Structure 1
């Protein structure tokens, strides 16, 4: 589902998984609304379409054993008024890298923020990251997970390009 800026005030969104033919007679009397009135809205829609159709297909066991644990942690803490909630709300992208999906020797998750990291991290941040890393590392197939909290300014281009965006909408499960 994608919210388009020009359609939002009408309560409309686009379901990228649904495709249908509509008879011209059914819509000819409707008011034409520009969904992308400016370059920013057009770029947003373009990125949403690319993300929807261009996701990396993580292995099912990774989705079930690792990504689901991270997603649960994020969804439980996201709306909390707490240091952990503040941490989760500051994360704009999660990326994953490994040397091999079939026989990995390492697994790294990058939690990326736009804003700089504080000089001294709250204890709750360290505890939360360590706790979720321990839960997600319970997988039999994947090694202990290294979770790196960083910024776009601090991650190298090589690290970024060697990783894949973990997109919650795209998680496929084997169930």
Structure 2
């Protein structure tokens, strides 16, 4: 049975997306970057691209806007072209993000263990707190999960 608004875990969207990005890193695509945030109407969003596509290496704007995978909790249970079902795996979501990026080869040639370690840490914090990470939202800027401040990605401050 497809997920519906009645049986949808509101935290499943961000949990699946963060797990999928970590899976891409585990596959060796360590050049994948994320920018999670809350949009003006309050929906959590994530933009995924490669470090090579970011002018600063960590923050928007992107060099090629078409090489950015975007997802929002507002469109869940759809992630890209994938409709999430109870049987949907993290692997399938990771494959969808990779397809949405155009399967970039530069993501495999950019080795960044520091960023990947940071990402694992914020994912663990988000799980422990029960709130997705956010770089900004309408009334604040600065990385946090819920009301808890978290460390920005390596290079974030230098790129600002």
Query: Structure 1 length normalisation: TM-score?
Result: 0.28
Query: Structure 2 length normalisation: TM-score?
Result: 0.29
User: Which of the pair has the greater relative contact order for Cα pairs under 8 Å at 6+ separation?
Assistant: 2
Larger strand proportion, structure 1 or 2?
2
